[in-house]
Amino acid sequence: MPTVAALESGGGGGQDFPAKLTGQVLICSIIAAFGGLMFGYDIGISGGVTSMDSFLMKFFHEVYERKHEVKENNYCKYDNEYLQLFTSSLYLAAIVASFAASLFCKRFGRKPTIQAASIFFLLGAILDAAALNIYMLIAGRLFLGAGVGFGNQAVPLFISEIAPARYRGGLNICFQLLITVGILVANVINYGTSQLQEYGWRISLGGAAVPAIILLVGSFIIVETPTSLIERGKLEAGLKTLRRIRGVHDVDREFEEILHATELAKKVETNSFRNLMKRSSRPQLICGTILQVFQQFTGINVIMFYAPVLFQTMGFGSSASLLSAVVTGLVNVISTLVAIFTVDRFGRRVLLLESVFQMLIAQSVMGGILMKFLQSTNEMPQLYAKIVVLLVCVFVAGFAWSWGPLGWLIPSEIFPLETRNAGFFFAVSMNMLCTFLIAQAFLSMLCRMRSGIFFFFSAWIVLMGLFAGFFLPETKGIPIDEMNERAWKKHWFWKRYFDEEESPAPAHLEWKDTMTRN
């Protein structure tokens, strides 16, 4: 029986399992991806809101006054720690929340974690829209952060676990696609609400409730992942769900593979964080977390959070700046579609490597132009300001079909079950930590390093190119529970981490006898 062979080879059988791309999988992936919409909305909304006069006047009066001083230094007019804290507090909360979420996700499953995310997010949106003072405002951001922590922990894992291996990349990138849609929608809303004098910012911040409600309602429709059901001992429900989402009756091999992964996970250790410290977990842990560091050190969030501020620094008017941010947002969405259709065909590495060249050129030319044409107090020639907007688009496109989506996809697919939740937690929280650092530091860095900041990011891009070229194994098309066998143990560098590993004894699984099936 092929099932026994697959088990005996430790699950490294080497083929994809029978599966159709069913409506169930599509619908569940799209609903879950609304977690990305919440995240993206938040990324996109704060930059625009912090450049609105009515918002600054109410909460950050000092910044408001400095912004309107004629001779203020171009690079320093927004440098204010509290203003940065408004943007970045969300990410601090998200780090703590994603730790809680990793435990919650393992104990209660992916679906309740997604539900909790939407509730946190809804509360955050309400608090922010109603904010009467800075404390309420920050409290709202903390709730939103908890929502992001829970959502970002559960959604990519959820999609990677329900997707058939050969469509996993494209489906998982729906999460990133909705992040980009969220950013774009936020930019458009900011553009509209910036015209409203008093309450524009309240509408912008309160709008976060919409994706939260969609996700909350949708989360009652989605299934729990077979892996999570089986992991929590609900074998029959796991098998039933697997049949339903695969659209074929014969799911025995995949079921046994998941069962095998679960048995292994249980045998190894009950504490997945301790497991993660083992030598054989190092390759996935290092790659999963470093990918997120690199994702953030492309400098993408300088553009996402501060594009309107940056464009104003270059001399565009307030609404021209928001409009330019809308244009870059549109480029972001369209380019993510490119990733969806290419990632399972060309593989992850090709996209990562191509984009390194593209982003490097864009960042360094941008730095060069700003260095030459934007001094402390002048106004930049309009032609060059427009070229910079174009270069921002080139940069965003490169990011959007590579490090953006793959920063989430790869960590969600490379860990074996016994370390998946804990390992992915490290990836998510590293992303949040680096996002926090950039959000918190950027305006001060811009003030001190000026155009040099773009060369700083260029250096990181070179580094990440080398890393992707030499150290990242290709994971395209490999079933999620066969990664160790088919990706890590075959990689020229990482295979040494498995040298002394005993190959796990085949689990003796007699599920067919013990379960009533029909």
Q: Which residues bind ligand BGC (CB under 6 A)?
A: 43, 176, 179-180, 183, 295, 300-301, 304, 332, 404, 407-408, 431, 435
In terms of CB distance, is 180 or 193 closer to ligand BGC? 180
- For helices 81-108 and 417-449, angle between their N-to-C axes, nearest 10 degrees: 180
Q: How far apart are CA 355 and CA 184, in angstroms?
A: 21
| Closest distance to ligand BGC from the beta carbon of 399 (Å) | 7
Least spacing, CB of residue 180 vs ligand BGC, in Å: 5
Which ranges of 130-251 does DSSP label H, i.e. alpha helix?
134-162, 168-193, 200-206, 209-218, 226-231, 235-246
Nearer to ligand BGC, 241 or 435 (CB): 435
Q: Which is nearer to ligand BGC, 370 or 432 (CB)?
A: 432
Q: Please, which residue, 118 or 176, has the CB nearer to ligand BGC? A: 176
In whole angstroms, how close is the CB of 300 to ligand BGC at the nearest point?
5
Smallest Cα–Cα separation from 41: which of 296, 218, 214?
214
Tell me the CA distances in angstroms from 196 to 131, 204, 487, one per residue in order: 17, 11, 54
Closer residue to ligand BGC, CB minimum distance, 24 or 301: 301
Residue 57: CB minimum distance to ligand BGC, A = 27
For 312, phi then psi, to 5°, come to: -70, -35
Shortest reach from residue 155's CB to ligand BGC, in Å: 12
Closest approach, Cβ 114 to ligand BGC, in A, equals 18
CB atoms within 10 A of CB 19: 20
Joined tokens for residue 107: 């104990």
User: Nearest approach, Cβ of 460 to ligand BGC (angstroms)?
Assistant: 14
Nearer to ligand BGC, 153 or 431 (CB): 431
* Residue closer to ligand BGC (CB basis): 148 or 507: 148
- Distance separating alpha carbons of residues 460 and 292, to the nearest angstrom: 12
Do 92 and 81 meet the contact criterion of CB atoms below 8 Å apart?
Answer: no
Residue 280 near residue 267 (C-beta atoms within 8 A): no
CB of 428 to ligand BGC, least distance (A): 10
Query: How would DSSP label each residue in 301-316?
Result: HHHHHHHHHHHHHTT-
How far, in Å, CA of 430 to CA of 414, rounded?
Answer: 16
- Comparing CB distances to ligand BGC, the nearer of 301 and 421 is 301
Q: Distance between alpha carbon 261 and the CA centroid of its chain, in Å?
A: 26
Torsion 401-404-407-410 (CA) sign: negative
